[in-house]
Amino acid sequence: AQSRGETLHAGNGGEIHQTAGGDVPVMTTQGGMPVSDDQNSLKAGARGPTLLEDQHFREKIFHFDHERIPERVVHARGYGAHGVFETYETLADITKADLFQRAGEKTEMFVRFSTVAGNKGSGDLARDVRGFATRFYTKEGNWDLVGNNIPVFFIQDAIKFPDLIHAAKAEPDRGFPQAQTAHDNFWDFISLTPEAMNMALWIMSDRTIPRSFRFMEGFGVHTFRMINAEGKSTFVKFHWKPKQGLQSVVWNEALKLNGADPDFHRRDLWDAIKAGDYPEWELGLQLFDEKFAEEFEFDVLDATKIIPEEQVPIRIVGKMTLDRCVENFFQETEQVAFQTGNVVPGIDFSNDPLLQGRNFSYLDTQLKRLGGPNFTHIPVNAPRCPVHSFQQDGHMSMRNPRGRANYEPNSWGGEKGGPREAPEAGFSSYPEEISGQKARVRSETFADHYSQARQFYLSQTETEQTHIGNAFVFELSKVETMAIRSNVVAHLRNVDEDLAKTVADGLRLQEMPAAAKAARPTIMDLAKSDKLSIILN
Ligand code: HEM
């Protein structure tokens, strides 16, 4: 690897000039006034007091006082980089999305990797899901594929998200733990939320302690739609496959790394890119139709389930290369505002109730986090295609309508009249037929919470299974309330009896709890029927 340090510029005879001149620019106030002295405030006499009239002093302190913005309510700690996506082959038969029309097409990207629960200053090696947020600056607008490094999620309905996150973050009375899943509130919530059981197995696996961002997979999680020029819809699940391979550390290493270098992951990404060792991921699609969706054992709108690659193989369609570090962490990584709602013509949502909630949440939270409705004007958020609308004003507006008209329809022709809608080329939602009674419900098809957890556990190697067992024991051993420990083991009995026993023994539980009552027959109950053969085999 290259040396990390940059050469310091020593001026004439080893002295560094502290005043402007030559190629050293003149320091100014924000108003552009040249500054003569940045070391001393303006005083009445050598020993003060400081004078209110010192505009430079007041402006400097005022600006400093307002440097902080709210950290993200989740995924507060993250690291970003720029890159490029290359399309391998045309997907015109499946989607009209412009970026997938031509083989060899290059699309600029911005990516931010993150942990979920810890605050902005937490350690990189926490056992946690990693955010894998990607933005494609396409010719038809920004497409944000805002994913994670785990293909499933804790909950099925966005209305539970505030509860999940409250339970996962620091407990409200004591204000700790800051970045760990090892506490009562978190496991209390999990033990009372059987739908989280598949995710619980994934997060206790090695995937939540990745070696670095470069060695993680990424997943769009939800089922989306791709729409072609004829209006035909195909369901799709998105995957990012790291060319570097998939690697994790073990828990012992994670603990040491977190202590020795809590910035280990961000340093790794920075160093690799600066050294020209650009990380790459291939984009893969699982494509399927309505018929498959109807026949699949689980509901494709349920974000707690995957579609096994054995059932729908992944088709690799392009490659992302991260080749440029940010120039300024705050301006780019902190101010980037990914939104699941940012799609382009040819890509559409499904009715996954988690995705539907996310589409509201990101826009809403960013209004507050970035201080007003004009955060799309910030360069990292601005599309790299023409943008014209009649939205105007608000704090920090950089992009108001030009010309006379700021409304439509209008009678002003040409440039004066401003932009007009494009019935053919514009985005139109897939005209899915919908019927049903208005009610607060959860579909019966979302009710099997254990089968895929078992499938995941059984798919792991013996070593990986041992790590999962150890992780449950470690995390639950930090839970002070014994009943919560038992309640989690009660669920594990529906996943795998050996795992449940390992965890119960590791926790020295006095007695084995009865298996949790499942909303639907568990995999064990169904073992004799052939309905779930795909899961058992
Ligand atoms: C932030 C992924 C579910 C609300 C993020 C980020 C990622 C992500 C990667 C970080 C974005 C960045 O780097 O700036 C996911 C995934 C989910 C999920 C994969 C489920 C499959 C949800 C749900 C909600 C939600 C259900 C709310 C209903 C938020 C909010 C932020 C966020 C408010 C902060 C955004 C910001 O301040 O810019 N999520 N999330 N997420 N997520 Fe999610």
Residue-wise pLDDT tens digits, 67-97: 999 999 999 999 999 999 999 999 999 999 9
CA of 72 relative to ligand 1 center, distance in Å:
9
Of 459, 528, 448, 458, the closest CA to residue 498 belongs to 458
Categorize the per-residue pLDDT at 1 as very low, low, confident or very high, splitting at 50, 70 and 90: very low
pLDDT at 50 over 80: yes
Which residue's alpha carbon is at the smallest distance from atom 13 of ligand 1? 112
Of 452, 483, 435, the closest CA to residue 156 belongs to 452
Q: Which atom of ligand 1 is nearest to the CA of 148?
A: 19
Categorize the per-residue pLDDT at 535 as very low, low, confident or very high, splitting at 50, 70 and 90: very low
What pLDDT shows up at residue 522?
Answer: 56
Which residue's alpha carbon is at the smallest distance from atom 24 of ligand 1? 358
CA of 537 relative to ligand 1 center, distance in Å:
34
pLDDT at 531 over 70: no
> To the nearest whole number, what is the mean pLDDT of the chain?
94
ipTM topping 0.90: yes
Alpha helices in 169-208 (DSSP H): 184-191, 197-203
Residues at CB less than 6 angstroms from ligand 1: 72-75, 78, 112, 114, 131, 133, 146-148, 153, 158, 161, 221, 303, 336-338, 354, 357-358, 361-362, 365-366, 369
What pLDDT shows up at residue 293?
Answer: 98
Assigned token pair, 187: 């496991």
pLDDT at 347 over 80: yes
What pLDDT shows up at residue 410?
Answer: 96
Q: How far apart are CA 474 and CA 507, in angstroms?
A: 9
Q: How far apart are CA 528 and CA 137, in angstroms?
A: 51
What pLDDT shows up at residue 518?
Answer: 77
Q: How far apart are CA 502 and CA 470, in angstroms?
A: 8
Assigned token pair, 425: 């080329």
How many H helices and E strands in the chain? 14, 10
Categorize the per-residue pLDDT at 10 as very low, low, confident or very high, splitting at 50, 70 and 90: low
pLDDT digits (tens, 9 = 90+) for 194-246: 999 999 999 999 999 999 999 999 999 999 999 999 999 999 999 999 999 99
Torsion of the alpha carbons at 447, 453, 454 and 458, rounded to the nearest 10:
160
pLDDT at 296 over 80: yes
**Of residues 101 and 181, which shows the higher confidence score?**
101
pLDDT digits (tens, 9 = 90+) for 227-239: 999 999 999 999 9
Assigned token pair, 522: 């568990």
Q: Which atom of ligand 1 is nearest to the CA of 357?
A: 28
Best residue among 110, 111, 362 to mutate for probing ligand 1's pocket (most ligand atoms within 8 Å of CB) is 362
pLDDT at 181 over 60: yes
